[in-house]
Amino acid sequence: MDPVLVTFSIYILGMLLIGYYYYRQNENISDYFLGGRTLNPFVTALSAQASDMSGWLLMGFPGAIYAGGFNGMWIGIGLAIGTYLNWQFTAQRLRRYTEIVDSITIADFFENRFKDKSRALRIVTALAILIFFTIYVSSGLVAGGLLFENILGINYQLAVVLAVIIIGLYTFLGGFLAVSWTDFVQGSLMVLALLIVPIALISIRGGLSEVWGQIASINPDLLNAGKIVSYDFAAEAKWVTTSDNMSFISLISLLGWGLGYFGMPHILVRFMGIKSAKQIPVSQFVGVTWVVVSLIGAVFVGILGIIAAPEALENTETVFLVLLQKLFNPWVAGVFLAAVLAAIMSTIDSQLLVSSSALAEDFYKALFRPSASQKELLWVSRLAVLFITVIALFFALSGGTILDIVAYAWAGLGASFGPAILFSLFWKKTSRNGVLGGIITGGVVVIIWKNFFAYTGLYEIIPGFFLSALVIYLISYFGEDPIPEVVDEFERAMKPLINE
Amino acid sequence: MNNSLPISTWFWLLAPNLLIVLLSLFRLLKTRGGDS
C-alpha cells in the first residue's frame, strides 16, 4: 500500500477518534460550543492559531509567494501584527466581558452587551456569519479538493466530496472540545512542517546563498520585497517584473489583512473558551510565536518552490504539495501532507461550529423555538453543520483560487465585526444602533467594493473596516447615552485587567 | 553579487515579527512576576 495513504488514513482515524470521544462527553450546548470554558492556555493558543490558519497557510500563501516573490510577505507581516494586537488588546477583555454578560457566541455577546430586546443585532450578526463563513468554508473545500486530487489521483469533484465527508463528520460529532483538541494536534503538526520543510530544502539546494543566487538568476526582483513580480505559467519568461516601486495602495492592501483579526468569530470564540483570563498572556506568547514561525516558514516554502519544484506550476497553490511529493521519502511526505489536511480541517471545523451556532442559537432558538431543550439544540446544531457544508460544497465546485476566496470572506468578516467588536469592548458610549449600522455597513461595503471597485487595487477590507468604524462612531456619538446597567457591566469588564 | 537577499527584505521580514514575539514575552514575564 502507498505509504502516503497509510499515514493519511492513520491521521484521519486519529482525528475521528478524538471527535467520537468528545461526542460522548458533550452534555449541553455550552459544552458543544465553548467546551464549558475549560481550555488550558496551550490548547487555547494553538487552537486559536490553527483555527485561524487554514489551507491558506500551506497552499494559498506559499502560492502567492511562489508567484510574486518576497513582495507577498507583507500579507504575512500584516497578519502577524494583527494576531499580536488581537491577543494583546481583545482577548482578555472579550473573555471577561462575555462571562459578565453570560454569552457563548458573538451574536449573544452583542445582544447581551447592548441589552437588545429587538433581536435585530442577533439576526444581522448571524446573517453576516452565515454569508461569509459559507464562502470561507468553501475555500477550505477547494483546498481539500486540491489536496486529495493531488495525493489520491482522483478527480477534483470526487476529491471535494471526500473532503466534505471527513471534515463534516468529526465536527458533527465532537463540537468545541474535539475541535480544540484536534486543532491543538493539528497546530503542532503544521508548525513542524513549516519549520522542517524549508530547512531541508535549503540544505538540499546547497545553502542560503546558493538559493538566493539561483532565484536571482531567474529574476532578482523576486528577492526584493518592494518590487512587484507577476507570474504567467503560459509565458516563456514566467516571472516578469511589473513594477519597480510598490504603490502605497498595494502596501496597505497587503498589510490590511491584519485588520481582519478583530472580527473573526471563529478565532474570537477561542478567546472566550479559555479557562481564566489570567492565562491569556501565556496563550498569547505561544500563539504569536507559532504564527511568526509559521508565516516565515510559509514564505520560505513559496520562495524555495521557485527553484525546487521540478517544473513551473500551473496551479501555484499546489507548491507545497509538489515539493513534498518530489523531494521527500513518501513516509515523511505523508506526515507533512497530513499537516496540510490538518490546516484545512482545523479551520473548517471551527467555522462550521460558529456557523452552526448561528443557525441553531440565533435563528432556530431565538426566532422559532425559545423553549427548545439543550438536547434539541445540540441536534439542530449538528444538522446545521451538514446544511452549511452542503451549500459550501456548491460554491467550492464553482471554482476560484484559495487565496481569492479567503480574501473575500476574510474582508467580509473583518469589516462587519472588527470595528463592532473593538467599539463594544473599548468605548462605553457605543450604542446598539451604532453597532447594528456598523455590521451592515462593513458587510455591504465589502460586497460592493469587491464587485465594482476591485479595479482600484485597494483590498475591500480597508474601505469596509473604516466606513464601518465611522458609522458606529457617528451613530453612537449622536445617539442616547447607554443605560446604567450597561455602563456598570462595561466598567466591570474593564477593571482588573492584567498588563494591558 | 546576487548571492544575497537584500538587507531591506531581511529587515522587514524579521524585525516586526521579532518585535511582537518579544512584546508578548514581556507581557508574559510581567504577569508572572506580578501575580505571585
Euclidean distance between the first and the last CA atom of chain B, given in angstroms as a whole number: 55
B-chain residue closest to A290, CA distance = B21
pLDDT at A338: 83
Interatomic CA distance for residues A158 and A148, integer angstroms: 9
Q: pLDDT per residue over A36-94, tens digit each?
A: 566 778 888 888 888 888 888 999 999 999 999 999 999 999 999 999 999 999 998 99
| Contact check, Cβ <8 Å, B13/A87 | no
Closest chain B C-alpha to A149 CA, distance in angstroms: 33
| Contact check, Cβ <8 Å, B23/A88 | yes
A-chain residue closest to B22, CA distance = A285
pLDDT at A202: 94
The highest-confidence range among A12-21, A243-252, A414-423, by mean pLDDT, is: A414-423
Interatomic CA distance for residues B2 and B14, integer angstroms: 20
Interatomic CA distance for residues A291 and A304, integer angstroms: 20
pLDDT at B36: 37
Point out the least confidently predicted range of A399-403, A425-429, A445-449. Answer: A399-403
The residue ranking higher by pLDDT, A70 or A348, is: A70
Q: pLDDT per residue over A366-375, tens digit each?
A: 888 888 888 8
Interatomic CA distance for residues B16 and A194, integer angstroms: 19
Global model pTM greater than 0.95: no
Give A83's contacts (C-beta < 8 A, 6+ positions apart). A49, A52, A258, A261, A287, A288, A291, B20
- Whether A241 and A229 have beta carbons less than 8 Å apart is answered as yes
- Whether A396 and A442 have beta carbons less than 8 Å apart is answered as no
Q: Is A71 part of a structural domain of the chain?
A: yes
**A323: phi > 0 → left, psi -120 to 50 → alpha, else beta; which?**
alpha
Q: Is A296 part of a structural domain of the chain?
A: yes
Name which of A219, A261, A257 is nearest A241 in CA terms. A219
C-alpha cell at A212: 538566493
Confidence of residue A414 (pLDDT cuts 50, 70, 90): very high
pLDDT at B11: 95
Set of chain B residues whose Cβ sits within 8 Å of the Cβ of A71: none
pLDDT at B9 over 70: yes
Set of chain A residues whose Cβ sits within 8 Å of the Cβ of B25: 285
DSSP state of A155: -
Q: Is A468 part of a structural domain of the chain?
A: no
DSSP state of A256: G
User: Which residues span the domain enclosing A256?
Assistant: 3-394
Mean pLDDT in chain A?
88
Q: Helices A402-426 and A432-452 sit at what angle, rounded to 10 degrees? A: 160
B-chain residue closest to A70, CA distance = B9
Confidence of residue A171 (pLDDT cuts 50, 70, 90): low
Closest chain B C-alpha to A457 CA, distance in angstroms: 23
Set of chain B residues whose Cβ sits within 8 Å of the Cβ of A284: 24, 27-28
Give the position of cell 468528545: A22
Q: pLDDT per residue over A271-307, tens digit each?
A: 887 878 788 899 999 999 999 999 999 999 999 999 9
Q: pLDDT per residue over A230-267, tens digit each?
A: 999 998 889 999 988 889 999 999 999 999 999 999 88
pLDDT at A459: 96
Q: pLDDT per residue over A349-372, tens digit each?
A: 778 888 888 888 888 888 888 888
Residue A444 is which amino acid? V
Q: Is A285 part of a structural domain of the chain?
A: yes
- Give backbone dihedrals phi and psi of A382, rounded to 5 degrees, phi first: -65, -40
pLDDT at A8: 81
Residue A24 maps to which CATH number?
A: 1.20.1730.10
Q: pLDDT per residue over A91-131, tens digit each?
A: 989 999 998 998 888 999 999 999 999 999 999 999 999 99
pLDDT at A326 over 50: yes
As a whole number, mean pLDDT of residues A381-402 equals 87
pLDDT at A37: 66
Instruction: List the single best residue of B4, B12, B13 to mutate versus A (max A Cβ within 10 A).
Output: B13
| Contact check, Cβ <8 Å, B12/A209 | no
C-alpha cell at A293: 514561525
Nearest neighbour of B21 by CB, restricted to A88, A225, A292? A292
The total number of structural domains in chain A stands at 1
pLDDT at A218 over 90: yes
Chain A residues whose C-beta sits inside 8 Å of any chain B C-beta:
70, 73-74, 77, 80-81, 83-84, 87-88, 208-210, 212-213, 216-217, 220, 223-226, 278, 281-282, 284-285, 288-289, 292, 295-296, 299, 498-499
Q: Which long-range contacts (CB under 8 A, 24 or more apart) does A41-44 make?
A: A41/A274, A41/A275, A41/A279, A41/A280, A41/A282, A41/A283, A41/A286, A42/A184, A42/A282, A42/A283, A42/A286, A43/A180, A43/A181, A43/A183, A43/A184, A44/A180, A44/A270, A44/A271, A44/A273, A44/A274, A44/A279, A44/A283, A44/A287
| Contact check, Cβ <8 Å, B17/A225 | no
Confidence of residue A500 (pLDDT cuts 50, 70, 90): very low
Set of chain A residues whose Cβ sits within 8 Å of the Cβ of B23: 84, 88
Q: Is A425 part of a structural domain of the chain?
A: no
Set of chain B residues whose Cβ sits within 8 Å of the Cβ of A65: none
Beta-carbon neighbour count of residue B13 at 10 Å?
21
Give the number of beta-carbon pairs within 8 Å between A and B.
88
Give the position of cell 473583518: A414
3-state helix, strand, coil in chain A (%, to 5): 80, 0, 15
Please, how many CA atoms are within 13 Å of residue A275, restricted to the half-sphere of its CB? 9
Give the position of cell 450597561: A486
pLDDT at A194: 92
| Contact check, Cβ <8 Å, B17/A296 | yes
pLDDT at B35: 46
Confidence of residue A158 (pLDDT cuts 50, 70, 90): very high
pLDDT at A493: 87
Confidence of residue A422 (pLDDT cuts 50, 70, 90): very high
| Contact check, Cβ <8 Å, B30/A499 | yes
Write the CA distances from A448 to A451, A461, A470, integer angstroms.
5, 11, 17
- Whether A226 and A245 have beta carbons less than 8 Å apart is answered as yes
Closest chain B C-alpha to A218 CA, distance in angstroms: 11
The count of residues in chain A is: 500
C-alpha cell at A280: 491569556
The residue ranking higher by pLDDT, A74 or A400, is: A74
Which DSSP helix (H) or strand (E) runs through A40?
none
Q: Is A343 part of a structural domain of the chain?
A: yes
Name which of A198, A258, A248 is nearest A228 in CA terms. A248
**3-state DSSP call for residue A228?**
strand
Whether the complex's predicted ipTM is more than 0.95 is answered with no
Interatomic CA distance for residues A407 and A259, integer angstroms: 12
Determine the distance from the C-alpha atom of residue A499 to the mean position of all C-alpha atoms in its chain, rounded to a whole number.
Answer: 27
The count of residues in chain B is: 36
pLDDT at A328: 85
Nearest neighbour of B31 by CB, restricted to A209, A281, A289? A281
pLDDT at A497 over 60: no
pLDDT at A465: 98
Q: Is A443 part of a structural domain of the chain?
A: no
Chain B residues whose C-beta sits inside 8 Å of any chain A C-beta:
2-6, 8-9, 12-14, 16-18, 20-21, 23-25, 27-28, 30-32, 34-35
Cα torsion angle, A17, A22, A25, A27, sign: negative
Q: pLDDT per residue over A430-476, tens digit each?
A: 999 999 999 999 999 999 999 999 999 999 999 999 999 999 999 99
Q: Is A460 part of a structural domain of the chain?
A: no
Give A75's contacts (C-beta < 8 A, 6+ positions apart). A61, A64, A254, A255, A257
